[in-house]
Each structure stands twice: as structure tokens, then as C-alpha cells.
Amino acid sequence: MGEGVGGEGKGKMKGTNNIHKALVVGLGYRTGLAVSNFLAARQVAVVASDSKSEADLADVIVKLNPAVRVIAGAQDPALLDEGFDAVILSPGVPMTIPLVTDAGRRGIPVIAEVELAFRHMKGSIVGITGTDGKSTTTALTGHVFRELGIDTQVGGNIGIPLISFVDKTTDESVVVAELSSFQLETIVDFKPDVAALLNVTPDHLDRYDGMEEYLEAKMRIAMNQDGGDYFIYNKDDVMSSRSSSRVKSRALSFSIETGDADIFYRDGAVYLGEGGRRILRTGRMKVLGLHNVQNAMVAILAARAVLAKRGKEPDYDAIAEAVYSFPGLEHRLERIGLYQGREFINDSKATTVNAVLTALRSFPGTGVLILGGRTKGDDYSRLKIGLEGKIRSLVLIGESKEYFAKILGGFRHVFAETLDDAVVKAMRESSDGDVILLSPACASFDMFKNYEERGTEFIKSFRRLESGALSWT
């Protein structure tokens, strides 16, 4: 049956020492593909199952190891009769589908891709979760470690499966992993050296029964930590702060509101709690907004924690210079250009209400907001408070546009069918000096493959406008 995949990395699989035959559920173009090829390369017999048709999966199937058998268009629990040592679940697949629940009943281990990667990974792991800011904080933290001269890999929910680079890690490496609640649902032994919980606000309530269940999924990031590990939490966030008291690891707090945290912000600077040493002048940062100050504080604490575990003192001057040089993340408050006095901002990654509210707070003055997509169960009426006095008009897109027109009916709004149409209408609704902001508050799957494709298409629409190929007058 082949050599199988055991636990030659940080841990061993509970219930089985080796995987000889695996079922990968969810053949996403990143995670499912990467897992299938990783296992097949190790002579594991792999079956990949997806509810999409073979035609819809064609772009993925062509990149698969030929040894992988694909079952497309159905996810029948009877497939389990073949016998599998493990089911590897892609993060977008609910644990409640019959194929997965039946695997649990049969005693077949169901694990996340991040769990599989963990068992083969070397070096230190920094895991970052939360509702908003995960990707930017993950990228910034990875940037800081790299600038300090440490071999660093960045992946997870940020778009690079951890499994794709485990073979590159060494005992000296640092892996910085963005972790969604979906990914954390099926971890077993995953144990980061440093775990960070940025915030917990309403999101994915179409998947979870309520905020407590959502929080519990997030808190799984710390469930295997011990007293030698670190847990970083947001002292200003009620749910994060409340949860810090139940971790077994050493808790470190950050705050922009109070000076009694382990690291805090005051009057344009960041200070360490012990001794009140100033370590960062926020005006020198390339990325805007207090939310990025919070992200920077997490990165600083993560660097300090990893270095402490390695018996090294942090060079805070070098860490500060690394933070200053961070350019920001694509599709997150990304300035793409000026046209006719309007500044265009691509914030396609803003798929939650809080992310949009953060974006609105980052810019003075007024503007036009392009909003809409596939909703995720949030209370979108919370947008009202952020729109007041900030938005001249809304341009509503996607399958939720009628819904937003209803709940935000007190604000001027127009409908758009495409991003080209949205850009044209935003120009017509705006004035010289305005910001035109794509910050959708929704998932992209009604119109696009992912938020990156949505953001890229927005940039293309702007370029067409800029070149004169897209007329707005």
C-alpha cells in the first residue's frame, strides 16, 4: 500500500501511526490540491471528493498528481466503504455534511490541512486568528522575522497552504500561519509556540449557532499550548480578553485604549508595558490606521515571544525598522491611484462589517463605498454608524444589493451589475476630493472565485477608466 505518511515532524496521528489511504474532502484550487499532491508524492493512495462537477474542477484536476482519483459532483457517505485511514478536510467544507459526520461515526480521523502540515513541520510556529486583521498581521509578522534575518515561511488562510512548504522548514525556521475558525475546527495536536487572538466580532454566523460557538472555534488555537508557550490577546476586545484567563500558556496583552497592557499605544507611539519604553513611532509606518498599530503590536510581541523561547534578547530597534518598512497587503486598503481628484482604494479583502468600519475610519472626509456580495450571517445594520457623515453614496453590487438597499435605505444608493459599472457609477456619485472605496463587507463567491480576483478586477476597471477605455461621462 505504499510507505504511508506518519508523524515524522512535531507530532503523531492519534488513532493511526501511518496514512496509507486518504480521502481529501474539498478539492480547492489551493488547499485540496496541495494536500492531494503532498500525500500522493509520498505514495499514499488519495481520493479527492468535491461537490463541484468535473468540468468546474478542470483547472484544478489538470494540476493534480495523476495518481489522485477524483470523485466529482457528489459526496456520498458510501464512499467511506472503501476504507480510509484519514479524512483531510479543506477549510471551506462544513463538518456537518453527511460524508464528514459519517466518517466520525466510523472512527475515521477527520483532520485539517494545518494539522497534517504541523505533523511534518520543523521550527517555531506563530498562529494568528481573529475576525479582522489576520492577513495583514500575518504578513507583517512574517516580514518582521525575515527582516531580522530569520528563515521564515508565511501561509495558511492567507492563501498559501502550510503543507506546500513544510519540506523547506528547519529547526531554525519560523512559520507564521493565518488560521481561520474553519481551519481550527479540525485540529487535533496542532500546537503553536505563539498564538494570537486579534479580536472576535460577528462573522460566519451562517455556519455557527452563535458568537460563543464561533469564539470556541477560535480558541482552539490555544488548546494544546502549555506554560512554555505564549498567547497574545487584545485587551480592548471583550471576548478575547475574557478568554485569556483560561489559557495554559503565558498571556501577553496589547491595547490602544489603556496603558496597563504588555504593549500599548499612546499619542502616536507604541510602548512596552514594563518600564514604559517607547519602541515605535507610528507616524513612520507606511500602513495607515490604528488597526495597523494593533497589528504592529502583535508582530512585536510575537517576535519577542519566539526570541524568548530561543533564549535570545529582542533588538527592538531592528524590530521597529522592520515594522516601518512593511508596505502593506494587496487588496487591503490598497491605494491604486488618483483620477479626476478621486482616490481609488481597493479593500476587497474586507469581507466583514468590522473590516469595512475600520476602512471608513482610516480616511478623512467623504466618499463613495462600493458594497455587496455574498453575505455571511452578520448584522449588517451595524454599518450605519460608520456610514454616517462619511459616505456620499453607496454603489451596491452582487446578490445582496437589494438586501443592502433595504437595510441601508436611509443612505443614497445606486445599483451596479459589474465592477466596470460600479466604477462608472461611483465616479458619477462622487466629487473632487472624494475617496472611492471598494470594501464589500461580503464574500466574493457570487461574482468571483475569491476576494483576490474581485480586487484584481477592480484594479483593471480603474486602469480602464484611467486610460479612457471606460467612459463615465
pLDDT, tens digit, for every residue of 4-38? 554 444 543 432 347 999 999 998 768 999 999 99
* pLDDT score for 203: 62
pLDDT in tens, 82-91: 999 999 998 7
Q: What are 170-179's pLDDT values in tens digits?
A: 999 999 999 9
pTM metric for this prediction: 0.79
**Which pLDDT value is given to residue 358?**
85
| Phi, psi torsion values for 281, nearest 5 degrees | -100, 110
Question: Is the per-residue pLDDT at 92 higher than 60?
Answer: yes
- Has residue 252 got a pLDDT over 60? yes
pLDDT (0 to 100) of residue 206: 63
Q: What percent of the chain has pLDDT over 90?
A: 79
Helices (H), 342-394: 353-361, 383-387
The C-alpha angle 25, 30, 35, rounded to 5 degrees, equals 50
The per-residue pLDDT for range 111-167, each reduced to its tens digit, is 989 999 999 999 999 999 998 889 999 999 999 999 999 999 999 988 899 999 999
**Cα-based distances in Å from 186 to 6, 100, 220, 419, 461:** 18, 11, 9, 36, 39
Mean pLDDT of the chain: 92
Question: Cell for 454?
Answer: 474581485
Quote the pLDDT of residue 365: 84
Question: Angle at CA 293, nearest 5°, toward 288 and 299?
Answer: 120
pLDDT at 116: 95
CB-count burial class (<10 Å; 0-12, 13-18, 19+) for 363: middle
- For residues 187 and 95, the answer to whether their CB atoms sit within 8 Å is no
- Predicted local confidence at residue 3, as pLDDT: 44
Q: How many CB atoms lie within 10 A of CB 172?
A: 11
Q: Is the pLDDT of residue 1 over 60?
A: no
pLDDT of residue 204: 60
